[in-house]
């Protein structure tokens, strides 16, 4: 398989995304190897609880870890009659250490 055709999943929810994900952090690197994935991103909802465990485990297995988070972003819509803020889930990925710290 060529490098161009390799798939990198950028939106994995682990067991730390309560009610949304079931992927075990400890088994994620093995799953990546079995599907020939060179990297993977975890984007748990509203938390980064798995970041350290995932980074250490993936890097140790030769998988490039990508850290991210899915967060609900509030906005006001022009047709919003109730005036309550609307919410939309957005995924944020850290490009480097500075991005992670921000």
- 34-71 in b/e form (b: 16+ CB < 10 A) is eeebeebbbbbbeebebbeebbebbeeeebebbbbbbe
Percentage above 70 pLDDT, the chain: 89
Q: What is the pLDDT of residue 76?
A: 73
The answer to whether 39 and 62 are in contact (CB under 8 A) is no
Contact present, 45 and 70 (Cβ < 8 Å): yes
pLDDT at 62: 94
Per-residue pLDDT at 50: 95
Q: What are the tens digits of pLDDT across the range 22-67?
A: 899 999 999 999 999 999 999 999 999 999 999 999 999 999 999 9
**Predicted pLDDT of residue 5:** 60
Ordered structural domains, the chain, with CATH: 3-101 (3.20.20.140)
**Res 13 pLDDT > 90:** yes
Average pLDDT score over residue span 74-100: 82
Token reading at 62: 């030769």
Would you place residue 2 in the very low, low, confident or very high pLDDT band (cuts 50, 70, 90)?
Answer: low
The SS3 call for residue 53 is helix
């Amino acid at each position: 398989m060529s490098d161009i055709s390799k798939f990198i999943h950028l939106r994995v929810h682990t067991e730390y995304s309560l009610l949304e994900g079931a992927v075990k952090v400890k088994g994620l690197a093995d799953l990546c190897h079995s599907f020939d994935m060179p990297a993977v991103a975890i984007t748990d909802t509203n938390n980064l609880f798995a970041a350290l465990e995932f980074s250490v485990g993936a890097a140790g297995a030769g998988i490039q870890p990508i850290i991210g988070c899915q967060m609900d972003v509030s906005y006001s819509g022009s047709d919003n009659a109730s005036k309550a803020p609307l919410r939309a889930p957005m995924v944020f990925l850290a490009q480097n250490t500075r991005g992670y710290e921000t």
